[in-house]
């Protein structure tokens, strides 16, 4: 039987950049084919071509033996190719069923065909082992009123340690067709995305970093679903940078480097070292977790912190911890459980509703973000584009963005440009930021080099406290290794580091203690010997036992 998808000698150029050069691969029905590579290796370009977002300059694609060149995502879906994006394409205020119907021309919104759609959904979910339950349908307005109604006797502003909502229970494995997307766990939303694609009769699924925001238990549930789909004859392209996961779930894998295929492996015969070497010659397997040293003095103390989220809900509640010099406290948790609010409270960009926050024994209450940075705080944000970089400025200007106010950077009211240039050059050199000219716009750097620039700029200030939020999100293996190395070096120099990460492997690789954040509260603070299964259970609100 010929492959379901054949790609032969694909080329794509963006200006002077050759994104793909002679890329070839095949995907069979009933196969999970992984595609790995560093940032800028060509993975995204290849998938965008398959999904009709961009056109190839040269080369041939065949789908089920016929020439295939989609002009749009709609054309790709019509041909049987669906993509499950890393950031789900769902409407949070709609129900599960409404998201299934949205954009699906085979079904009607109301009438007999809606019942037909519901029956088809339930039959598909049953076949795939997804526990989907029908429930009484509510109108849009009833849903809206119900979701915003305050419980009888509930106060608008709860007392300390109290909330209007009962503590969130751990997500049940099943959920209802008429549940709102906003009420589902991340893993449940992902299953909705997969079913939505299957309802459009796609036979080839592209999964873009599908485990990026999942807890360990949810990863296992996803892999079980993918294996069922494989048995049903579906073909899947699994895009990931997590080699361990690729080895666990894929049948074959292709490695891209600088727009070319640098390795092809049958997963059963591949090793982590071989794959890492194909991704980049300098790559190595992830290092083991460092041994915990003796903690130093308390640098940052937080007691009973509480803060409201953007929607007025209590996003942090009774949160307490101490951060010591020469220590990394890792904060694990599924995205959306208060990580962003915790970082913002520490940085002074979100007000405290109550609680005490001290830096070296002095209160931070009433201090601006600038004052906190001057006192010794540094921040690696989760989104470098929105919160860390100035896209219209050069690499040198971004590197020196916080050095302009230092006394050594100006004299008699004039900036010492030579001093600032030397400062920028030292960051680029010391943190291995690869750029041809520091005068180039920072947007010309790859994602990994942009992130190394941000990390270098923050650590060059020798901070007392570093708040690192997903410091390696979206960067490749070699950049991740460099960033981890620099964070550990800062710890060795006495910095107190709060590592907030949704990557459990990153927390284990760096942290001396691990805190689990769930619904704005710490479920506990543990030594690094705690098992990933226990951490995963706590991340989902379950007991660790």
Between 15-29, 127-141, 185-199, 279-293, the lowest mean confidence (pLDDT) is in 279-293
What is the distance of C-alpha 234 from the center of its chain? 26
What is the average pLDDT score of the chain?
A: 84
Residue % of the chain over a pLDDT of 70: 85
> Structure pTM?
0.64
pLDDT tens digits, one per residue of 409-454: 666 667 667 778 888 999 999 988 888 888 888 988 877 889 999 9
Between 100-104, 139-143, 196-200, 533-537, the lowest mean confidence (pLDDT) is in 139-143
Give, for 346, the enclosing helix (H) or strand (E): helix 339-347
Greater confidence (285 vs 256) lies with 256
CB atoms within 10 A of CB 516: 27
Structure tokens at 69: 């060149």
Give the pLDDT of residue 173.
45
CB 91 within 8 A of CB 102: yes
DSSP output for 120-178: HHHHHHHHHT--EE------HHHHHHHHHPPPTT--SSPPTT--SSPPPPPPPS-EETT
Instruction: Residue 252: name the closest of 531, 498, 32 by CA.
Output: 32
**Taken in order 156, 162, 164, 170, is the CA torsion positive or negative?**
positive
Q: Which domains are assigned to the chain?
A: 298-539 (3.40.50.300)
Give the pLDDT of residue 119.
87
Q: What is the mean pLDDT of residues 469-492?
A: 88
Q: What is the mean pLDDT of residues 43-65?
A: 92
Structure tokens at 395: 């690499």
Distances in Å between the alpha carbon of 261 and those of 40, 46, 258, 265, 479? 13, 12, 8, 11, 20
Q: How many residues does the chain have?
A: 545
Q: What are phi and psi of 228, to 5 degrees?
A: -65, -40
């Amino acid at each position: 039987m010929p492959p379901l998808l054949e790609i032969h000698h694909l080329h794509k150029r963006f200006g002077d950049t050759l994104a793909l050069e002679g890329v070839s691969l095949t995907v069979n029905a009933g196969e999970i084919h992984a595609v790995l590579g560093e940032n800028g290796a060509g993975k995204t370009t290849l998938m965008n071509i398959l999904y009709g977002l961009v056109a190839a300059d040269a080369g041939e694609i065949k789908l089920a033996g016929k020439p295939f060149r989609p002009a749009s995502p709609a054309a790709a879906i019509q041909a049987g190719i669906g993509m499950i994006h890393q950031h789900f394409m769902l409407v949070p205020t709609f129900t599960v069923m409404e998201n299934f119907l949205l954009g699906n021309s085979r079904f009607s919104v109301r009438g007999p065909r809606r019942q037909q759609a519901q029956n088809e959904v339930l039959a598909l979910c049953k076949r795939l082992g997804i526990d989907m339950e029908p429930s009484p349908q509510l109108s849009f307005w009833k849903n809206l009123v119900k979701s915003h109604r305050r419980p009888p006797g509930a106060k608008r502003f709860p007392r300390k340690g109290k909330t209007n909502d009962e503590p969130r229970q751990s997500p049940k494995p099943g959920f209802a067709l008429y549940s709102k997307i906003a009420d589902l766990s991340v893993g449940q939303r992902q299953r909705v995305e997969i079913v939505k694609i299957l309802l459009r009769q796609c036979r080839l699924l592209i999964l873009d970093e599908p485990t990026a925001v999942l807890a360990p238990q949810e990863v296992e549930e996803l892999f079980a679903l993918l294996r069922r789909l494989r048995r049903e004859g579906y073909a899947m392209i699994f895009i990931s940078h997590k080699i361990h996961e690729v080895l666990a779930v894929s049948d074959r894998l292709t490695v891209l480097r600088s727009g070319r295929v640098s390795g092809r492996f049958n997963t059963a015969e591949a090793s982590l070292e071989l794959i890492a070497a194909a991704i980049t010659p300098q790559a190595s397997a992830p290092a083991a977790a460092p041994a915990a040293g003796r903690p130093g003095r308390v640098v940052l103390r937080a007691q009973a912190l509480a803060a409201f989220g953007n929607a007025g809900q209590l996003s942090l509640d009774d949160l307490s911890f101490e951060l010591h010099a020469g220590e990394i406290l890792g904060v694990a948790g599924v995205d959306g459980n208060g990580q962003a609010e915790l970082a913002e409270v520490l940085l002074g960009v979100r007000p405290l509703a109550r609680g005490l926050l001290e830096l070296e024994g002095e209160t931070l209450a009433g201090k601006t973000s600038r004052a906190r940075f001057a006192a010794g705080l540094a921040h690696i944000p989760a989104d470098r584009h929105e919160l860390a970089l100035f896209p219209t400025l050069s690499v040198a200007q971004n590197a020196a963005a916080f050095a302009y106010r230092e006394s050594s950077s100006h004299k008699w009211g004039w900036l010492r440009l030579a001093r600032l240039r030397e400062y920028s050059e030292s960051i680029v050199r010391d943190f291995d930021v690869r750029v041809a000219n520091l005068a180039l716009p920072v947007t010309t750097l790859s994602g990994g080099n942009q992130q190394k620039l941000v990390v270098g700029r923050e650590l060059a200030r020798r901070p007392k406290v570093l708040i690192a939020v997903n410091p390696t999100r979206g960067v490749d293996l070699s950049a991740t290794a460099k960033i981890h190395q620099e964070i550990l070096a800062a710890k060795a120099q006495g910095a107190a580091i709060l590592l907030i990460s949704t990557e459990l492997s990153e927390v284990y690789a760096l942290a001396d203690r691990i805190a689990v954040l769930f619904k704005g509260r710490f479920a506990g603070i543990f030594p690094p010997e705690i098992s990933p299964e226990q951490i995963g259970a706590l991340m989902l609100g379950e007991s660790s036992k």
